[in-house]
A = this chain, B = another copy of it.
Amino acid sequence: MAKSDGEVKVLGTWSSPFVMRARIALNIKSVNYEFLQERLWEGKSDLLLQSNPVHKKVPVLIHGHNTICESLIIVQYIDEVWSSAPSILPFEPHERAEARFWAAHLDEKWFPSMRAIGMAEGEDARRAAIGQVEEGLVLLEEAFGECSKGRPFFGGDRIGYLDIAFGCFLGWLRVTEKMTGIRLLNETNTPHLLKWAHRFCSDDAVKDVMPETEKLAEFAKMIMGRMRGAGKS
């Protein structure tokens, strides 16, 4: 099934939800790629700095002579280049617009709130951030109904653009649930998303890329420890 369409490399880290997007999109298209792990705490590689001089961030997709940055742009590029394999974006323009709308909302509003839970100073700030994450999940539960139309994924019968955009945050959502002791995805408020999350994580394109919750929780503790240390110095 693997395709040989020029050399494909992904610069990234195992823990980044944004890097996971590029890897899942390549898996959906059955494209072989080399995963070059960055060790950001030890300094960014010359290849990363050369490939993404504006933002200096992972993921970067290298495809032959082309470099592509920003995870959602990479996913669209992969969909457009390997267009004969299963489609990632919906076919219909309005459905494409809906998927793009919610994916942008996740990155601009929802994920920053989830990240704010771990970084919150004081119980009030922490509670406010948890509330925003919960409200966002209720909106996404509604969006799931509209986009999936009773099928298993946002994208319909198989994983699509919005599944990738949202699903990549599930590892960090589980870590947040573990740290707060709150079931953010639950039977009461988000019953469809709860089932969708299980389906997403056990999909062939995803299961080898999604980090284990324990390992990610250890990593999160280490990051927060370093940030607090840096804040004190």
Which residues in A have some Cβ–Cβ distance to B below 8 Å? 54-55, 63, 66, 68-70, 73-74, 76-77, 80-81, 93-94, 96-97, 100-101, 104-105, 139
Q: A68-B94, A81-B93 are in contact. Are A76 and B100 (CB under 8 A)?
A: yes
Q: Is the CB of B54 within 8 A of A73?
A: no
For the complex with contacts A63-B94, A77-B96, 17 further pairs of A-B residues with Cβ separation under 8 Å are A54-B139, A55-B105, A66-B97, A68-B94, A68-B97, A69-B101, A70-B100, A70-B101, A73-B100, A73-B101, A73-B104, A76-B96, A76-B97, A76-B100, A77-B93, A77-B97, A80-B93
The 9 closest A-B pairs by CB, nearest first: A80-B93, A66-B94, A77-B97, A68-B97, A73-B100, A81-B93, A73-B97, A77-B93, A73-B101
Q: Is the CB of B70 within 8 A of A94?
A: no
18 A–B contacts, CB within 8 A, in A order: A54-B105, A55-B105, A63-B94, A68-B94, A68-B101, A70-B100, A70-B101, A70-B104, A73-B100, A73-B104, A74-B97, A76-B96, A76-B97, A76-B100, A77-B93, A77-B96, A77-B97, A81-B93
Name A63's closest neighbour in chain B (CB-CB): B94
Docked Cα-Cα span, A74 to B97, in Å, equals 7
Count of this chain's copies in the oligomeric assembly: 2
Contacts of A97 in B (CB 8 A): 66, 68, 73-74, 76-77
Contacts of A66 in B (CB 8 A): 94, 97
Docked Cα-Cα span, A125 to B100, in Å, equals 34
Q: Is the CB of B54 within 8 A of A80?
A: no
CB distance from A82 to the nearest CB of B (A): 10
Contacts of A96 in B (CB 8 A): 76-77, 80
Docked Cα-Cα span, A66 to B104, in Å, equals 19
CB distance from A114 to the nearest CB of B (A): 17
Docked Cα-Cα span, A146 to B77, in Å, equals 18
Contacts of A76 in B (CB 8 A): 96-97, 100
Contacts of A104 in B (CB 8 A): 70, 73
